[in-house]
Chains A and B, each alone.
Chain A
Amino acid sequence: MNALRRHRILNTIWGAPKGWRGTVVSVNHSDIGKRFVIAAFGFFAIGGVLAMLIRAQLATPGSAFVGPDIYNQLFTMHGSIMMFLFAIPMFEGLALYMLPKMLGSRDMAFPRLSAYGWWCYLFGGTILIASMVFGVAPDGGWFMYTPLSSKAYTPGINADVWLLGITFVEISAISAAIEITVSVLKLRAPGMRLDRMPLFAWYLLITALMMIVAFPPLILGSILLEVERAFDWPFFDPARGGSPLLWQHLFWLFGHPEVYIIFLPAAGVISTVLPVLARTRMLGYGWIVAALLSLAFLSFGLWVHHMFTTGIPHMALGFFSAASALVALPTAVQVFAWIGTLWNGRPELKLPMLYLLGFFVVFVIGGMTGVMLAMVPFDLQAHDTHFVVAHLHYVLIGGFVFPMLAGAYYWLPHFTGRTRDELLGKTTFWLIFVGFNVTFFMMHLTGLLGMRRRVHIYPEEAGWTLLNLVSSVGSFVMAFGFALFAIDVALHVHYARRRRRNPWTAGTLEWAMPVPTPAYNIASLPTVISREPLADAPALASALSRGEGHLGEPRRGWRETMAVDTTTGAIDHIVVLPGNTHLPIVTAAATGCFFLCLLAGRYWLSLLPVAGVVVLGLRWAWLLDWRRDIGPLPIGRGEVAPIHREAAGAPGWWGSVFLLVADGTALASLLFGYAFLWVIAPNWPPPERIEGGLAAGLVAAAAGSAGTLLARRCLADGAAGLMEAASRMAVAAAAAQLVTILALMALGVTAQPVPQAHAYAACSWALLAYALLHATIAMLCMGFGRARIAAGHVSPRRTLDLRVARLFSDYSTATLAIVLVCLLAPSVMS
């Protein structure tokens, strides 16, 4: 088979149909990645226009340009769009597009999940933007503090739009996080040990793990607040044992790691681009990985620094203040590793390097003001002023936008296969850099002079007039810069000259393929023996397209790529990925209908799309069709490997594990809320507690335990080839879960006070609902397992379905035990 023929066959297997049909069904990571990037830039433009309106309003004191109601929507939407619809989706897109190429793989681990995440993001973002058009956009600030965002003070649907729309968008963040984690851990080129991965993969792996733990508190908080708004469960109402502070804790438990979640991928871009442009290798690979790990841990220990003024005891503040200062360490490690790398090499002032220098200047200043704000006495003065606004823009634009612009200019030739002269790009840089500093440096001063954030007018005699005007002028200069960037990219895409494939002589694998990349990335997978495979073998690209690596012979129309052992990079199995399908867009549309029903207050009607999502989800899993054993297959270079359905550590298994980690974090957040309210909130203890319910609780516990034991028996029988017995066990396990569900319902109805009575009751019911949901999932999993056995999808070699079912049963029972203890403790102890 020659290279051209191989290219044609692989293109047919991996490509999507042309036109609209292709757009709707494609699950290819390059397509989805590019869409994320383009849409995120679109939302960035919208958020930018809002920022210009804000600056237009603040250019003069007492401006009558917009009133407070519109102004509140402007800054709320500006923050929400930039955080949730721009920054996170932008790096998700870059990761989806770039990771498989850098890791020497043909796609991400769960292509349909990427597509589902994309549609959720697009639909959720559209709901938010539409609300602005209809004038009912969220207006409570992007962190939505209660009670301002509760029903009494925001009676309209503005807050619901935020809570539901953002949660809808977060589905894409969680799915991207799981996708990135499993892809980096499993789907690499053979031989790529953990310590041979490009640093970019390390950065994204750690970012993704942080997302898996950081987003659940926000999602849980949003659900609780929406339930309070919709059904009057008083989680945050101090009159009935709730506390507004609970929302702040849940929000910042997400919100602070979020800052690093945004910064780390951009830092990954720097660690990739900077050494290449300095013609050397990155200094201190091990140091950087260690710094990332410590940053990930530390970033979860400093959320309280957003709450220094909420009356928390000073010694506790001292702890969080020290942690906030400490987090400067891993960042300093990276900054000096970058500068040391520049000292080692021969840095060239090419366009991406110019943006990196912009990053250094802006980000270092932002870091310095960050350390200042970490000090309690300073923060007590500067908190909620324009000083904080200046700081956060220095950190986020410095730490995210400048590196991403560097990355954009670095990888544009990869996206398009073209290169262009740098004049326009340099002009763009200076407009953005000067405009940015003029805008935001002034805000440090207005803040120190006492200007609060989120005010639409200020008195003339305050002396802030000139500074504000200068800020506003600067912001328009910056906006021109971004417009010019868009024009430059458009010119690049349409008019630039085609060039050779590796214009920067980089050493990472994404340059070892034709550009623009074909749908399958690489015609065969390389064997990696160092961190810079392309530097070892400059002719690697042509060897790979001649099919000299692994999986060079396409077969059976399969989308094949390799999975490796996580640490050693040894060949583990072949992953056969699903192809183009309508399922992601249809499922996302059904999910969207669910959120729209809630937004319209049609709660009973919302059960319909829920049923739809369940059916589609089962169909989703069912389509992974595998009715016979295949055994080890040749993978080229004289080696063989089993396919993933017949291997132990299949991506689906790992994806389920990480999904449950996220799920467990949500439960932990709920338990935190329960304990927090019990200890801190006013109006405790509750007027009435659970009474009795012990019998129902014991029945639920017994049935749940039986369910998980039967699920384990079912798996053991299936693995031993006793299909009849396994089938019976699956039915029995599903029945046991049904008994659990009924017992839990009985417990709630007979023993618990109504959820509207008190935050205690609301928390109990929330815990009960959590256990009910998971018993239902376990039941569905076992029913699904039974059907798979009957249809011949399971054999002693192919037990993945039953293993995943067992995993969900185990999880359900473990959480059931925790929930029952929490529910019944007040009854048993009183």
Chain B
Amino acid sequence: MLAGATALSLLVFGLLLLAFLRRGREGRTSPTVWIGGLGVAMPIAVLLALVGYALMLGERIVAPGVSGTVVIDATGRQWSWEFSHRVGDGTPATHNELHLPAGRPVVLRIAAVDVIHSFWVPRLAGKMDAIPGHVNLLRIEAAQPGIYEGQCAEFCGSGHSGHLFRVIAHDEAGWVAFQRGERQ
């Protein structure tokens, strides 16, 4: 996308530059070539390809997960996040700390209790708003075990800058331990 955008921008800038360089040269340009060709036909071709590709990619991110995935409730409030893990025997609830298994798709059920927040872990891609009165689904997957920083992306008042959380992706052993309620 970046390369395409750069190429198209350079095309436009090049044509502009040529307009000044060829000053005084004879020959009128035709509206059909310029407007019909460059203005209509070219963008249609580029955009069709781009939209099609984006739709396919989007299906993978947004669509609710297949069966057997881990489901976690994420609830935003001014100014913290509550996570309730529907796993194992109980549902371990944590504050500002989301635990999930690495290498497995996880479906988050995102909600809010006061104002609108937005769940975003930049390195895990995708963000989803937490809206009072609605529950939104987001599918994420952490490829590697580790710690990922998360932040509220929707402006939510005076504590917005500090409205942060952290995602802990466990390896298999760690995840089993977490489900049993053994936490460091």
Contacts and interface: CB of A to CB of B under 8 A. Distances in A.
User: Are A and B associated in one complex?
Assistant: yes
Interface of A: 68-69, 72, 140-141, 145, 147-148, 152-153, 238-239, 242-245, 283-284, 287, 309-311, 314, 317-318, 321-322, 325-326, 328-329, 332-337, 339-340, 342-344, 346-347, 349, 357, 360-361, 364-365, 368-369, 371-372, 375-378, 380-381, 383-385, 450, 452-458, 681-683
Given A368-B5, A456-B161, A337 B134 contact: no
Contacts of B118: 309, 384
Contact of A372 (B5, B39, B129): B5
A592 B144 CA distance: 60
B34 A332 contact: no
Contact of B133 (A243, A284, A333, A344): A243
Interface in B26-69: 28-29, 31, 34-36, 38-40, 42-44, 47, 50-51, 54-55, 57-59, 61-63
A318 B55 contact: yes
Contacts of B59: 314
Nearest to A376: B58
Contacts of A377: 54, 57-58, 61, 126
Contacts of B19: 339, 342-343, 347
Contacts of A310: 129, 131, 136
Contact of A381 (B38, B122, B152, B155): B122
B106 to A, nearest CB: 16
A516 B44 CA distance: 46
A143 to B, nearest CB: 9
B159 interface: yes
Given A68-B158, A336-B35, A375 B29 contact: no
A733 B40 CA distance: 55
A342 B31 contact: no
Contacts of A283: 29, 31, 34-35
B94 to A, nearest CB: 22
Interface stretch (B7-15, B80-88, B174-182): B7-15
A325 B51 contact: yes
A311 B128 contact: yes
A141 B157 CA distance: 9
Contact of B47 (A147, A328, A337, A384): A328
Nearest to A369: B5
A342 B1 contact: no
A456 B161 CA distance: 6
B1 to A, nearest CB: 6
Contacts of B18: 343
B22 interface: yes
Nearest to A147: B115
Contact of A681 (B8, B126, B133): B133
28 contacts: A72-B155, A141-B155, A145-B155, A147-B114, A147-B116, A148-B157, A152-B114, A153-B114, A243-B133, A244-B116, A283-B35, A287-B35, A287-B39, A317-B58, A336-B34, A342-B16, A343-B34, A360-B13, A368-B5, A371-B5, A371-B50, A378-B1, A378-B54, A380-B126, A380-B128, A452-B120, A453-B155, A456-B161
A376 to B, nearest CB: 4
Nearest to B158: A68
Contact of A321 (B31, B55, B120): B55
B51 A454 contact: no
A68 B127 contact: no
Contacts of A452: 120, 151-153
Contacts of B1: 372, 375, 378
Contacts of A343: 15, 18-19, 22, 29, 34
For the complex of A and B, list the 9 residue pairs with the smallest distance between their C-beta atoms, beginning with the closest. Answer: A238-B133, A311-B136, A340-B34, A342-B19, A368-B5, A375-B54, A450-B122, A336-B39, A333-B39
Contacts of B54: 321, 375-378
Interface residues of B, number: 69
A245 B35 contact: no
B39 A384 contact: no
A336 B37 CA distance: 9
Given A284-B35, A336-B39, A339-B34, 20 more contacts: A68-B159, A72-B157, A145-B116, A238-B134, A244-B116, A284-B31, A311-B137, A329-B39, A339-B19, A340-B29, A340-B34, A340-B35, A349-B20, A361-B13, A364-B12, A377-B58, A380-B58, A457-B161, A457-B162, A682-B134
B9 to A, nearest CB: 5
B105 interface: no
A351 B137 CA distance: 53
B34 A284 contact: yes
B154 interface: yes
B142 to A, nearest CB: 16
B183 interface: no
A730 to B, nearest CB: 50
A803 B106 CA distance: 65
Contacts, number: 213
B107 to A, nearest CB: 13
A38 B16 CA distance: 33
Given A238-B134, A365-B9, A380 B50 contact: no
Contacts of A141: 155
Given A153-B114, A375-B51, A364 B62 contact: no
A147 B47 CA distance: 36
A384 B127 contact: yes
A326 B110 CA distance: 31
A555 B145 CA distance: 88
Contacts of B161: 68, 455-458
Contacts of B16: 339, 342, 357, 360
A136 to B, nearest CB: 15
Nearest to B123: A450
B34 A326 contact: no
B156 A148 contact: yes
Contacts of B128: 309, 311, 380
Given A148-B157, A322-B51, A372-B5, A311 B29 contact: no
A362 to B, nearest CB: 11
Contacts of A334: 39
A311 B129 contact: yes
Given A148-B116, A238-B133, A380 B127 contact: yes
A335 to B, nearest CB: 7
A77 B72 CA distance: 38
Contact of B155 (A152, A326, A364, A454): A454
B143 to A, nearest CB: 16
A759 B7 CA distance: 51
Interface string B157-173: 11111100000000000
* Most chain A beta carbons < 10 A, residue from B12, B22, B120: B12
A471 to B, nearest CB: 17
Nearest to B13: A361
B147 interface: no
A352 to B, nearest CB: 15
Given A369-B5, A384-B118, A287 B31 contact: yes
Contacts of B24: 346
Given A346-B23, A369-B5, A682-B133, A339 B157 contact: no
A357 to B, nearest CB: 7
A238 B47 CA distance: 38
Nearest to B36: A287
A634 to B, nearest CB: 43
Contacts of B133: 238-239, 242-244, 681-683
A398 B154 CA distance: 26
A152 B113 CA distance: 12
B103 interface: no
Nearest to A153: B115
A383 B153 contact: yes
Contacts of A458: 161
Nearest to B4: A368
A287 B34 CA distance: 11
B151 A325 contact: no
B170 to A, nearest CB: 23
